[in-house]
Structure 1
Amino acid sequence: MHTLKRTFDSLSVRNFRLFFLGQLLSVTCTWMMVIAQDWLVLELSGDSGTALGVVTALQFTPVLLLTLYGGRLADRHSKRRILVLANLTSGTLALLLGLWVLLGEVRLWHIWLFALALGTVNSVEAPTRISFVGEMVGSDLLPNASALSGAYFNAARVAGPAAAGLLIARLGVGPVILINACSYLAAVAGLALMRPAELHGPPSRPADPRIADGLRYVARHPDLILPLALVGVVGLAGFNFQLTLPLLAKTEFRTGSAAFGLLSSALAAGSLLASFATTARRGRPTALVVTGSALAFGAAEALTGLAPTLPTACLLLALTGFAMMYFAQAANHRVQLGSDPAYRGRVMALYLLILQGTTPLGALLTGWLAEHWGPRWTLSTGGLISLTATALTLTATPRGAALVQTTGTPEPVCEPGATPTREDHST
């Protein structure tokens, strides 16, 4: 019973509880739309891996260009207000796309344009949301809250694709996208009902935070550079399942949308278990935990590409999902808990830039490889690259430094021009 209570410690905080519930519903429906969008692209393009890669690249290109600016906004303004505006904008975009699909006039370039617009919103929303978790619960509960955030995200990845496969077959793509448009209201409601006076904002907020200051801050902390570098290589080579799984389902196993949803749900189920496994973490993970989980991920993904049957692929994808989330959470916690709160928006923006900003390059490369080599070789190659990069990291890291356990967060420091935090106390 005590262990179960520790697992859900952060949910005792009212603000985080509202955030958790709103995000759970909204993200579940977002994953439904991801499946619907990818399936529509394959139908319009004749199962082209390159076309699917272009959609993914367009959605993540703004992350590459604008995320650091999004982190700057998060350090300067109320994160809650930014998130409300971002969710309303994303909901409006989904509404327009869903109506366009229902009218029967949608073309491939329409989906590309939507992906680019949604990616622009996400480049601001994502670093703000990640750095906002600490403000809701404080530093002591940050690892637990971050793990539970991963849990709702992956619970959504289990339920969303599974539901999407059934709903697409029964209702079609358009209604699924419209359901997602309505779901953003749940996230907005959760944010609007929060009590701003109970948020744990930084002791000071720069009047004009500069991106360069954030980059210099990271450069002065080698313990942040290692996980960021590893996230970059593994993310580029291995985190392209949005592209490889629909191709694996349709071209290798010759199945429909329901099986595609099953593969995605298997990956998410493993990720969900890893999220719960990391809820017990109360301190900053070591560099060895980060590299060890990256090795496990690379091995599991390489084996997934060799899976002879659909059930075997689902089992290996569950293991891959577990290792992937454990690695991502370990890297996230090591970076976030090693960062000063005054810089956290920009530091986590850099983390997201490295994690997701490489996706356009990875998506285009993965799409080309999948079209010429097939999705199996693409998966295995991604795993082998991740393994090689992690092994090189281990050989380059002094053994003593890898075993150091650092807990807590650094003492706050003030940037030039920092001003006292003034949270909005209206609901």
Structure 2
Amino acid sequence: MTDRITHLIHHPYQPPGGFEAPQAGVFKASTVFFPTVAAMRSREWKDKSAYTYGLHGTPTSYALEERLATLEGGAECLLVPSGLAALGLVAMSLLKSGDEVLVPDNAYGPNKSIVEGELKGWGITHQYYDPMDPQDLEAQISSRTKLVWLEAAGSVTLEFPNLVEMVRICQRRKVLTALDNTWGAGLAFNAFDLVPGAQVPVAVDISAHALTKYPSGGGDVLMGSVVTRNPSLHLKLKLTHMRFGIGVGMNDVEAVLRSLPTIGLRYRAHDVATRALAVWAQTQPEFVQVLHPALPKSPGHGHWMALTGGEEGTAAGLFSVMLDARFTQAQTDAFCDALKLFKLGYSWGGPISLVVPYELETMRTAWPAHLLPGTLVRFSVGLEDAADLQADIAQALEVLR
């Protein structure tokens, strides 16, 4: 080669192997080179034994997938651009026209939007079941039911279901289960081994996880994952993943890989601060109900205790309060606006505390019997000092007094 630019593009230097460091290397690629045509034709990407195209993975994404599978107690993992994309991938992979999906009435709102929008348009029906009543779930399972969504704890209202019994019901009825495991994060309980030592394993089939939350931990990355133990089920998901060209950026993968080693420490810190605030919130007369699985009066507290190992179990960084029904929505909004450390914003799991007021009546098929009348506000507790956060809520309550 005589031209320097050609030489730059086709430079022969290759760094020596054997380099090891705390963080995995960042390999970004669309094109992947093959040494021969035979290699191009024989390489397999489905089992991660080789690389064929950047969309199907690089050493960087393979590393994160393997670590996440281990974290959640699964065997196989797929990365997608967001937690919502994880929910969508499951639906697109497993449901077809004429099928039915069952969803808890307290499910993550955008998942409801998927079943009411795209899935309905594709001829896939849905029913909402009472998340606190396993018998209601069983009564709604029919020959058309091909997938049951589970959520623990429930979105916004944080009820903790009898997850073990619900999974057992679906196993008996031979219906696939998919758990939105973002709250548990693979730390609160093992979704693939809900009853350790059970003669018949009690396990969900799929765990969908918004890595945007605790695995990222910075409030600056959008990503999701789908974890399974069943190889054939994983392959079905993976082929849909491939056909729709679903991919993630390796710089984002690097960010999650960098945060992942501290997830346990951060999760526990969020948990400790949140419990302290939830216990204190029960003493405030403006809050007629405080929702947090570790509180004895919170719906499903016993189920949380049984699944996570009692009071020493973990319970994430969210709690919700029901403001007395005498306060208007405008007063509730003014309370939220008065908060200084708690920022108005969606999502959770990052270092900065967040708050969102909700119009719960627009999010449920009916007002849940276990919730008192009022206006719901959800707090996501960050990594600030709990005493400072308590003082912030206390000063904002003066707006209501």
TM-score under structure 2 length normalisation: 0.27
Which structure's relative contact order is higher, taking Cα pairs within 8 Å and 6+ residues apart?
A: 1
The structure with the larger Rg is 2
Q: Is the strand fraction higher in 1 or 2?
A: 2
TM-score under structure 1 length normalisation: 0.26
